[in-house]
Amino acid sequence: MKVLVPVKRVIDYNVKVRVKPDQTGVDLANVKMSMNPFCEIAVEEAVRLKEKGVATEIVVVSIGPQQAQETIRTALAMGGDRGILIVTDADPEPLAVAKLLAAVAAEEQPNLILMGKQAIDGDNNAVGQMLSALLGWPQATYASAVEVSGSTAKVTREVDGGLQVLDVDLPAVITADLRLNEPRYASLPNIMKAKKKEIASKTVADYGVDVAPRLKVVKVAEPAKRSAGVKLETAADLVSKLKTAGVL
């Protein structure tokens, strides 16, 4: 079984994001970049499926600048077999990303697409659903557990009311939630081996997809700073304060 795992290069989650002075976007200059955490979880799940003998090949695909090779290398060091980099300096919108991944899926013919539920930069949580619709495949989003048996996958989803269990026929699109697993650290030998693994370089034109933006960013601003709290001496003061604020 072939598993396709899309990964995205984003600002490292430990880095404080700064807005450009002209408010046209986020400042990426000299900022540490890394693999999107949810993508990392998807890679780990694919590797675990391979270790169980369910998956036979893991293909990692990324869309972004040339530096996104580093993100693919990280996934290959975790256990991926080969990579595909679609080189573009633009930041494609979710629909364009879904169309590119659909074109890759048509070429690779995977049995399963396992991906993060969202990227921590745009936070759109849309590509997986769009990709499923474009391919006409069943989808299972927010997965916290995945069991693949034969031509079906049993997926436990995290929903507002608790947990939901779905059986989906393969091929399918599954998006990983935070509690699906804990990604491993790549060992030094595997990091060295990953340097020799194949990464095919493609362009957007190779897939004939229009990635022209359909949305225009008007302004990007930091959240308003929270005002300082107030210390109150007694419970009566608290009640009085809540009444004044219209809470009670």
For residue 212, the surrounding DSSP H or E stretch is none
Structure confidence at residue 87 as a pLDDT band (50, 70, 90): very high
| pLDDT of 164 over the 90 cut | yes
CATH topology of domain 2-244: Rossmann fold (3.40.50)
What's the pLDDT score for residue 8?
97
97-154, pLDDT tens digit by residue?
A: 999 999 999 999 999 999 999 999 989 999 999 999 999 999 999 999 999 998 999 9
128-144, pLDDT tens digit by residue?
A: 999 999 999 999 999 99
Domain borders along the chain are: 2-244
HSE value, Cβ hemisphere, 13 Å, CA-based, for 173: 23
Extract the tokens encoding 185. 């650290």
How many C-beta atoms lie closer than 10 Å to residue 203's C-beta? 10
Cα distance between residue 5 and residue 60, in whole Å: 5
Cα distance between residue 189 and residue 191, in whole Å: 5
3-state SS class at 186: coil
What's the pLDDT score for residue 78?
96
> Is the pLDDT higher at 23 or at 42?
42
Cα distance between residue 131 and residue 116, in whole Å: 13
For 120-156, letters b (16+ CB in 10 Å) and e give: beeeebbbbbbbbebbebbbbbbbebbebeeeebebb
> Is the pLDDT higher at 63 or at 29?
63
Q: Which residues contact 146 (CB under 8 A, 6 or more apart)?
A: 45, 49, 114, 153, 154, 155, 156, 174, 180
What's the pLDDT score for residue 37?
96
Average pLDDT of span 196-201 = 95
Global pTM reads 0.86
140 strand-pairing partners: 174
Structure confidence at residue 248 as a pLDDT band (50, 70, 90): low
